Structure 1
Amino acid sequence: MLNRILSRLRNFYVATALGLLVWMTFFDANDLPSQIRNWLKLRELESEVTFYNDQIKEVQRARREVLGNDRLREKYARERYLMKKPTEDVFVIVDENNEPIEKQ
């Protein structure tokens, strides 16, 4: 008789645990598919962070180059924005990496 009661009690706990597991996996606010979507979105956002950090470093480098002196500021404006005086033509000579040869 005691065996029967323990068996029914054990089956109740197993069924309850399985029900709770199914609920937590599929129906809860933090279910497994939502967690996977959130994890994938996190990876995408982390890659965007690295991209934008690289862009910030590039802009800071260009800013340091331009704010160095008036000659470099003029050179930067001519090369980057193709500014020129009305009576002249501007030619930028680049190396194989598409970088200007004259860097100061």
Structure 2
Amino acid sequence: MNRLLEIFRNKYFIAAAAFVVWMLFFDKNDMLSQYEYRAEVNKLQEEKDFYEAEIAHVKKDLNELNTNLNTAEKFAREKYFMKKDNEDVYVIVKENPKK
């Protein structure tokens, strides 16, 4: 027990313990900040992956639109509700059931 008290009274141990406590809880880059930064990096990485997939999808669609006229007509009809002169377009919108 005496040996343990001597270790805790040692000025180097006290200085090291104070340094560790300061770095873990009071410093600008404490543990909580590091956890928040890591969570933000993960969220941004997920967004980056999502947007890269969307860019690849849009590039594929653009390439298909530039090379195939039938695809361009289909795209115009589905996305922008374009029609030929002798056609009628009916848009059916499904309403969400009220809960």
Specify the TM-score bucket, using the shorter chain as the normaliser. Answer: 0.7 to 0.9
Query: Helix, strand or coil: the match of 1:50?
Result: helix
Give the aligned partner of residue 57 of structure 1: 56
1:73, distance to aligned residue in structure 2 (A): 2.0
Residue 33 in structure 1 maps to residue 54 in structure 2: no
Question: Matched residues in 2 for 1:67 and 1:90: separation?
Answer: 25
Alignment of 1:13 with 2:12, yes or no, is yes
Cα drift, residue 45 of structure 1: 0.7
Runs of 4+ in 1 over 4 A off after TM superposition: none
Question: Corresponding residue for 2:96?
Answer: none
Matched, 1:42 2:41: yes
Q: Deviations over 1:12-57 (max 9, x none)?
A: 0000000000110111111111000000111111111111111111
Structure 1 residues 73-82 or 33-42, which shifts more?
A: 73-82
Equivalent pair of 1:66/1:73 in contact (CA under 8 Å)? yes
**TM-score, length of structure 2 as denominator length:** 0.73
CA separation in 1, counterparts of 2:70 and 2:86?
A: 19
What stretches of structure 2 of length at least 5 have no aligned partner? Answer: 1-5, 91-99
Of structures 1 and 2, the one scoring higher in RCO (CA 8 A, sep 6+) is: 1
Query: TM-score scaled by structure 1?
Result: 0.70
Confirm or deny that 1:67 pairs with 2:66. yes
> Using the alignment, how far apart are the partners of 2:33 and 2:74 within structure 1?
53
Aligned residues: 84
